[in-house]
Chain A
């Protein structure tokens, strides 16, 4: 089944403790993105990648890192999480152009 898989689905952590949210897609898509969803704000792009080793900032990149060492994987790293990063995070992949994104099921992160 074609899908984007994120892990974990739920995560509670403490301020300052580094964490990684994994994302993997099995569709051989070039493009991958991370979004965060907050009430009343819709989804905002954090980082995106156009291919292996090619990444760029989205609209809200502060406090986040990404890497794209393999085409299928695009982990999101929070080196020193803070409470304002409490949010619902979505990973997505796309072939590019106007095909739209396929989204993962989301990771609900709480930073206390």
Chain B
């Protein structure tokens, strides 16, 4: 069965410094992986997705993620944090054989300090 682990429940960075949000997945099949962002009191927005093409995926707002099969990881990065990046981030694996069930990780809350 598919599952997602987000290793940090809370990450705090200073504005202008790099961001790293960690995600490990478990999947019986070649997975499809996603990162979603949720700003306070808002819905969820798709940041980027990996679907077995290029292993380095670029998303919106300067975010990137690299799929590493050997490490079963899909970490999210950004070179320079902005105050507007403060939000909750969810790593998601698509349940390949079960319709459109997207399995969400527990989330990582990113704080950006001035």
Instruction: Please report A residues at the B interface, Cβ cutoff 8 Å.
Output: 31, 33, 35, 40-45, 48, 50, 56, 58-59, 90, 92, 94, 96, 98, 100-106
Contact = CB atoms under 8 A, between A and B. Distances in A.
24 contacts: A31-B99, A31-B100, A33-B102, A40-B9, A42-B104, A42-B106, A43-B44, A45-B102, A45-B103, A48-B99, A59-B101, A90-B44, A92-B44, A96-B100, A98-B32, A98-B49, A98-B51, A101-B44, A101-B46, A101-B100, A101-B102, A103-B43, A103-B44, A103-B45
A86 B34 CA distance: 27
A42 B90 CA distance: 7
Contact of A48 (B9, B51, B100): B100
Interface of B: 4, 9, 32, 34, 42-46, 49, 51, 90, 94, 99-107
A47 to B, nearest CB: 10
Given A98-B32, A98-B94, A100-B46, A41 B106 contact: yes
Nearest to A59: B101
Nearest to A50: B99
A94 B9 contact: no
A40 B104 CA distance: 11
Contacts of B4: 42
Contacts of B45: 103
A45 B106 CA distance: 13
A45 B43 contact: no
